[in-house]
Every structure is written in structure tokens, then in C-alpha cells.
Amino acid sequence: MAETSAGSDRYKQGLKTRRSVLGDAHVDRALNRETEFDRPFQQFITEGAWGTLWSRQGWSKRERSMVTIALLAALGHDEEVAMHVRATARTGATREDICEALMHVAVYAGVPAANRAFKIAKAAFEEMDTEQGAGNENGGTQK
């Protein structure tokens, strides 16, 4: 996979959207840890997830955020749940929105999946509140 797509318009749009949702610090850390081995994967998710799906018209970032959290929780992708809960500081999804999304997880994917996701979300909110209290620019979502 020697050919790179990092200069494509879709990649550029994906990087812009990825930064707007996850924040510059998160994206910079991911890109700085990129190696020859995982570069194709990083380009793929930047173009596919962020440049195509998250950049589509029709749904707001808030709506995409809620659906993404519910799907990740239902599938048990704990680390990704936490990352996307933190991203709500930039997507506009409120804590009430996340609660509602996780209530759907309880009914449609099971109480254990929702229970775990609620614990993860609560821990992420505590971290965000602590950062916000310390004057960090990556503060918490609405309460």
C-alpha cells in the first residue's frame, strides 16, 4: 500500500471533520503515533469514517454522536465509547442525549451493555468536569 491518499480532498475533509469532533490534541496524538504499518488504516478511517460518513449532509454532529455512542456501547467497544463521550463537548450532544441513547442500548442490545456504557460515560464526565474545573479547553458537555 505504498500509494497514499493523504492529499485527497476526501482525506482533507475527513481530517477537518475528525478535528472538529475529536479535537486537535486527540488527532495530533493519533497522527504522531502513526507508523508505516498503520498509516493505511489511519488514512482509511480519516477518509471513510470522517471524510465520508461524518461529513455527510442530513444529520448533525450531535445526532451522529448519539448514534455512534449507542452503537459502540451495544458492541462493547469501551475505549471508543469513552472517546466519543468526550467528543460530545464539540458535537453538541448533551448528557441527557447520551442517557437516552444508552437507554436504547439497554432495550435493544441488553442491560449489561448499557450498564457498562453508563459506567464509562460517568467516568468520562468526571474526567471532563475535572479538566473543565482546571481551566482546560477540552471541558465537559452540558449537564
pLDDT at 140 (0 to 100): 43
Tell me how far apart the alpha carbons of residues 141 and 57 are, in angstroms, rounded to a whole number: 24
Q: What is the pLDDT of residues 2-30, one digit of tens each?
A: 345 667 999 999 999 999 999 999 999 99
User: For the whole model, what pTM was predicted?
Assistant: 0.86
Q: Looking at residues 55-59, what average pLDDT do you find? A: 96
Per residue in 19-55, is it b (16+ CB within 10 Å) or e — as a string?
Answer: bbbbbeebbeeeeeeeeeeeeeebbeebbebbbeebb
pLDDT at 31 (0 to 100): 93
pLDDT for 37 beyond 90 = yes
Q: How many CB atoms lie within 10 A of CB 97?
A: 19
**Overall fold of domain 61-133:** AhpD-like (1.20.1290)
Q: What is the pLDDT of residues 64-119, one digit of tens each?
A: 999 999 999 999 999 999 999 999 999 999 999 999 999 999 999 999 999 999 99
* Residues 6+ positions from 89 with CB-CB distance below 8 Å: 23, 128, 138, 139, 140, 141
Q: How many CB atoms lie within 10 A of CB 75?
A: 13
How is the chain split into domains, by residue range?
9-53, 61-133
pLDDT at 132 (0 to 100): 86
